[in-house]
Amino acid sequence: MAEPIRIGVIGWGLRGGLAALANRPDEGVEVVALADPSERAQARFREKIGENVFLTTDYKELIRQNLDAVFVLSPDWLHEEHACTLLDAGIGVYLEKPMAITVEGCDRILSAAKSGGAKLFVGHNMRHFAVVCKMKEWIDEGRIGEVKAGWCRHFISYGGDAYFRDWHADRTRSTGLLLQKGAHDIDVLHWLCGGYSETVSAMGGLTVYGQIQDRQAPEDHVKVEFRGTWPPLSLDKLNPVVDVEDLNMVLMKLDNGVLASYQQCHYAPDAWRNYTIIGTEGRIENFGDAPGQSVVRLWNHNLQKFSEKGDEEYEVPTATGGHGGADEQIVGEFLEFLRSGTTSVTSPIAARQSVAAGVAATQSVRSGGQLVHVETLCSCLAEHFATG
Ligand SMILES: NC(=O)c1ccc[n+]([C@@H]2O[C@H](COP(=O)([O-])OP(=O)(O)OC[C@H]3O[C@@H](n4cnc5c(N)ncnc54)[C@H](O)[C@@H]3O)[C@@H](O)[C@H]2O)c1
C-alpha cells in the first residue's frame, strides 16, 4: 500500500476548517503538523485533528517534517514568504487567495514553483460556487453567443466587522480591498469572460468607516465574526490603522476585447454577489448566490421590454458545507492535484492575473481614476504553467 500523503498547515484561523477537510486517513491523506504563533490556534488544531500532531510557532520547522504539502492559510502579507520557502524546499503548497499582495510577490511564487518543480495550487474556491459553475456551463454551451461584457456588483454587509477591525484595513498588510476581496470576483469575471485584464480604470474611497474614530487597543482582542453591524457607523473598535477604501468601482478591458466591471460596497445592508454576463446572443444573471436561495436566469429569446424570469431559470439546489460546499470541492480538487498533477478548474496563472488586476485597479483608485496597464506576466512563466 502507498505511503499516506502527509499534510501540514500554516495558520489555523478562520480558514483552518479547510485543512481539516483534507484530513482523510481512510483515503491515505493525513494532516499531521501545524505552524501558528497562537497558542489558542494550536490548542484548537490539536482538539480537531488529534493528540499526535506536530506543533510549532516557527513555520520553517515544517520543512523537516517530511511533508508532501502544506496548506498556507496565514494572513495575506505572509503568503509570499511562506509559499516561496515551502516551494524552494520541494514541498507542495495549497495557497489561500489572494496569491500575494503584490504582483512581484505572485511572480516570485510562480518562479519558485517553476524552478523547484514543487506543486502549487491557489485556492480560488469561488470557481466551485454553484451559481458561477452554472454560468460557466451556459457560456461554454454557447447559450449567450460570444461574450462581450461581464459585470459584478458585490454587496458586503459584513465588510465593517470582517475587514475594518483587523489587518485587512491596513494597506501595508492587504494592499487594499479591491485586491483582498476583489481577487475572488476579478478571477470569476476573467474565467467567465475568457480573458485577463489588460487595462483598468477605477474610483473608490474610504467613504463611511473613515468617519469612525473609535480604535481598538492591543488588550481589546477584538474577535472578527463576519457579522453585519447596523447601522455601519455604529461599528466600534476599528483596527488602529484604517487606510483602505470601503467603496470601489473598477472598469476592466480584457485581452480578448471583453469589457468588464466590478463594484464593491463594504456597508451594504445585504451580502451577495450579482453577476451578469452579456454575449452576442443573450444574457445571464444570478439572483442570490447561496445554495437553496438563488437562481440563475437566461434571456436569449424573449425580447419583451421587461421579463423578470427570462427564457430559462436554474434554481440552485441546497448544499451543505463551507461556502455552500465549494470548500469541500476545492479540497477535493487539490488532493486530486497532489495525486495526478492536474487541476480541474483553478489555475495559479489566473490567480496571479486577478492580483495583477486588483493591484492596478488600486493604483488607479489612488491616482484619481487614471487608466493603468496591468503588469504583464513573463512568457516563460505563462508557458511553464500552461503546459502543466
Ligand atoms: N477563500 C475564501 O473564501 C477565504 C475566506 C476567508 C479568508 N481567506 C483567506 O485565507 C487566509 C487566512 O484568513 P483567515 O480569515 O483564516 O485569517 P485568521 O486571521 O482567522 O487566521 C490566520 C492564522 O494565521 C496565524 N498566523 C499569523 N502569523 C503567522 C505566522 N507568521 N506563521 C504562522 N501562522 C501565522 C494566526 O495566528 C491565525 O491563527 C487569508 O489569506 C484570507 O485572505 C479566504
The pLDDT tens digits for 184-205 are 999 999 999 999 999 999 999 9
* Mean pLDDT of the 336-345 span: 93
Q: Is the pLDDT of residue 258 over 80?
A: yes
* Mean pLDDT of the 348-372 span: 98
CA of 166 to the centre of ligand 1 (A): 11
| The model's pTM | 0.97
CA of 321 to the centre of ligand 1 (A): 19
* Mean pLDDT of the 118-129 span: 97
Q: Is the pLDDT of residue 388 over 60?
A: no
The pLDDT, as a whole number, for residue 283 is 98
- The answer regarding whether domain 5-124 maps to CATH 3.90.870.30 reads no
* Mean pLDDT of the 7-13 span: 97
Q: Calculate what percentage of the chain has a pLDDT beyond 90.
A: 93
Percentages (nearest 5) of helix, strand, coil residues in the chain: 40, 25, 40
Confidence of residue 49 (pLDDT cuts 50, 70, 90): very high
Burial of 17 (C-beta count, 10 Å sphere; 0-12/13-18/19+): middle
Looking at ligand 1, which residue's alpha carbon is closest to its atom 19?
13
Q: Are 55 and 34 in contact (CB under 8 A)?
A: yes
Atom of ligand 1 nearest to the CA of 124: 1
* Mean pLDDT of the 302-314 span: 90
Atom of ligand 1 nearest to the CA of 82: 32
CA of 10 to the centre of ligand 1 (A): 9
For 215, phi then psi, to 5°, come to: -120, 150
Q: Is the pLDDT of residue 230 over 80?
A: yes
The pLDDT, as a whole number, for residue 221 is 80
Q: What is the DSSP string of 337-357?
A: HHHHS--SS--HHHHHHHHHH
Mutate to test the pocket of ligand 1, among 39, 58, 96 (most ligand atoms within 8 A of CB): 96
Q: Is the pLDDT of residue 122 over 60?
A: yes
CA of 137 to the centre of ligand 1 (A): 32
CA of 78 to the centre of ligand 1 (A): 9
Q: Is the pLDDT of residue 17 over 60?
A: yes
* Mean pLDDT of the 356-363 span: 98
pLDDT tens, 341-356?
998 899 999 999 999 9
Q: How far is CA 2 from CA 28, 53, 177, 219, in A?
A: 8, 21, 43, 49
**CATH number for domain 127-328+355-365, candidates 3.90.1300.10, 3.40.50.300, 3.40.30.10, 3.30.360.10:** 3.30.360.10
Pairing of strands 120-123, 92-96: parallel
Where do the structural domains in the chain lie, given as residue ranges?
A: 5-124, 127-328+355-365
* Mean pLDDT of the 79-89 span: 98
CA of 77 to the centre of ligand 1 (A): 10
For 264, phi then psi, to 5°, come to: -135, 125
Grid cell for residue 356 = 495583477
CA of 11 to the centre of ligand 1 (A): 6
The pLDDT, as a whole number, for residue 387 is 67
> Which protein residues touch ligand 1 with a CB less than 6 Å away?
10-15, 35-38, 41, 59, 73-76, 78, 96-97, 123, 125, 323
The pLDDT, as a whole number, for residue 302 is 77
The pLDDT, as a whole number, for residue 54 is 98
The pLDDT, as a whole number, for residue 1 is 63
The pLDDT, as a whole number, for residue 226 is 83
Q: Is the pLDDT of residue 219 over 90?
A: no
Atom of ligand 1 nearest to the CA of 40: 39
pLDDT tens, 157-189?
999 999 999 999 999 999 999 999 999 999 999
For 152, phi then psi, to 5°, come to: -135, 125
For residue 297, give the DSSP letter.
E
Q: Is the pLDDT of residue 303 over 90?
A: no
Atom of ligand 1 nearest to the CA of 11: 24
pLDDT tens, 272-295?
999 999 999 999 999 999 999 999
CA of 302 to the centre of ligand 1 (A): 46
Average pLDDT, the chain: 96
> What is the chain's alpha carbon radius of gyration, rounded to the nearest angstrom?
21
Mutate to test the pocket of ligand 1, among 73, 76, 78, 102 (most ligand atoms within 8 A of CB): 73
The pLDDT, as a whole number, for residue 386 is 85
